[in-house]
Amino acid sequence: MYDLTETNKINLPTTPDTLPKEISDTIRELGRMWATSDLCPTISQETATSWSKLIEAWAAEPTLPLLIRKGSSIRGSEIIHRTGRILIPCDNSPAQWACYLALQGITPTLEEIKYGFKNDSIPISFAHKVREKELRKYHCTLGKFSVNRLGWKLCHIKPIGLKSRTSLSDIEINKLLQAFNDLLNPENHFLIPIQWSGLGEVPEFIEGYTNRNKK
């Protein structure tokens, strides 16, 4: 009988420093093929540009909170940054909300964003957690704005994780503004069928997707 405590005797290979080029190139080609497929949902350049302008104006308006994805914080709560800016921790729900609207050619106005926070109608999370309920100020969940329920996985071209254990209130504001933009900006979004969701995290696939017009 094998002794399961003697794991030090198992000799497993480590990941090679260089992965096979032909396989990496194939994954890039898959990304390019998906980007150019008629089945791939796309946002018009006009709408993407209008969202970029909205997000720029939103970031420049000091009375508006910034939505920041950080799983270790209470989603929907308010955190006051050392600069005085209000931060709202969230999950990927605001990104899905933005993408859902952008795919229909809809860009809110800055006044509509202000109204959305006042009336708690901007999605902050997929669902409530019991431990968060009493600590949240904003309670709107994703609901009808979910692209997941339509069979899509929302992916980000540039990573949106802060990769920091520092409190949100102490992270440099410029880093938070960039994270806010990368989370919400449809120019940083792409959709793939949820069955292929893992591909959306593979750098070679993303590279092929973004370089779709290059051979």
Q: What is the pLDDT of residue 52?
A: 97
* Residue 49 CA: distances (Å) to CA of 43, 116, 150, 186: 10, 21, 25, 9
Query: For residues 200 and 145, what is the distance between their CA atoms, to the nearest angstrom?
Result: 20
pLDDT one-digit tens code per residue, 30-80: 999 999 999 999 999 999 999 999 999 999 999 999 999 987 789 999 999
Residues whose CB falls within 8 Å of the CB of residue 167, separated by 6 or more in sequence, listed in order? 79
pLDDT one-digit tens code per residue, 102-141: 999 999 999 999 999 999 999 999 988 787 778 899 999 9
Q: Tell me the HSE value of 160 on the side-chain side, using a 13 A CA sphere.
A: 26
Q: Are 168 and 68 in contact (CB under 8 A)?
A: yes
pTM, entire model: 0.90
pLDDT one-digit tens code per residue, 130-174: 877 788 999 999 999 999 999 999 999 999 888 788 899 999 999
